[in-house]
Structure 1
Amino acid sequence: MGEEMVRERDARAYEAVHDAADFTELKRRYKNFVVPWTIAFMAWYLAYVACNNWARGFMSHKIGGSHINVALVFGLLQFVSTFVIAALYGRFANRKLDPLAHGLNAKYKRERRR
């Protein structure tokens, strides 16, 4: 089979998947998860940065009389929130995205065989 025929077959298969309602739904679900969580995380991160710059008294406040202060706790919570969002995304993707993606992958493979 010539290279041009392979490209044409692959392009038709891609177009068939791209035009599928499941592909549109997959993109919609992905955006509906990613955009709000990205905004939330960026707001949280920028609040941390802003507090470190302009609320130094608050950030240097000791917690429980120890050497741990609010800034250290906020910094650690940045890591925690990153892992929590990643775990939530993993669960979301397994339940809501992967079934659609597997179906679209099967459709692509069928279309390529034509």
Structure 2
Amino acid sequence: MHASPQFQELRSVFRRFSFPMAVAFFVWYIVYLLVATFAADWMATPIGGGFNYGIVFGLLQFATTFLITWIYVQYSNKQIEPRTAAIRQQMEG
């Protein structure tokens, strides 16, 4: 089954989503780390209500994690799960 065209297509569909999304999130995280390291004074700038840019950036890290998870679930339900079910059905006969 590993060499079958259906499995190769499933891997391709998964990779088309996961690699670009992982790279985008990694770049966003590195930007956060670089800004926190090299612009610490700016990150400590108050923006009101007891918040500063550092807190906002940190909360945005959580928000993007949840957003990526939600996007992946939607993508998986439409693109990955039907292919997985077809492969499972074929293997179980």
TM-score grouping bracket, smaller chain normalisation = over 0.9
Q: Which residue of 2 aligns with 1:26?
A: 10
Gaps (5+ residues) in structure 1?
1-16
Greater relative contact order (Cα < 8 A, sep 6+): 1
Task: Pick one of 70, 73, 82 that aligns with 1:87.
Answer: 70
Q: Deviations over 1:31-53 (max 9, x none)?
A: 11000110110111111111111
SS at match of 2:46: coil
TM-score (norm 2): 0.94
Question: Over the residues paired in the alignment, what is the CA RMSD in angstroms?
Answer: 0.9
Report how many residues are paired.
93
Distance 2:89 2:2 in 1: 13
For 1:61, the aligned partner's letter is T
For 1:74, the aligned partner's letter is F
Distance 1:103 1:66 in 2: 53
Task: Pick one of 50, 55, 68 that aligns with 2:51.
Answer: 68
| Cα deviation, residue 22, structure 1 | 1.3
SS at match of 2:49: coil
> Identity of paired residues, percent?
31
Larger Rg: 1
Distance 1:94 1:48 in 2: 31
Distance 1:108 1:57 in 2: 59
TM-score (norm 1): 0.78
SS at match of 1:18: coil
- The residue correspondences of 1:38-77 to structure 2 (distance < 5 A) are 38-63=22-47, 65-77=48-60
Distance 1:70 1:25 in 2: 43
Structure 1 stretches of 4+ with a deviation exceeding 4 A read: none
Distance 1:18 1:38 in 2: 24
| Cα deviation, residue 61, structure 1 | 1.4
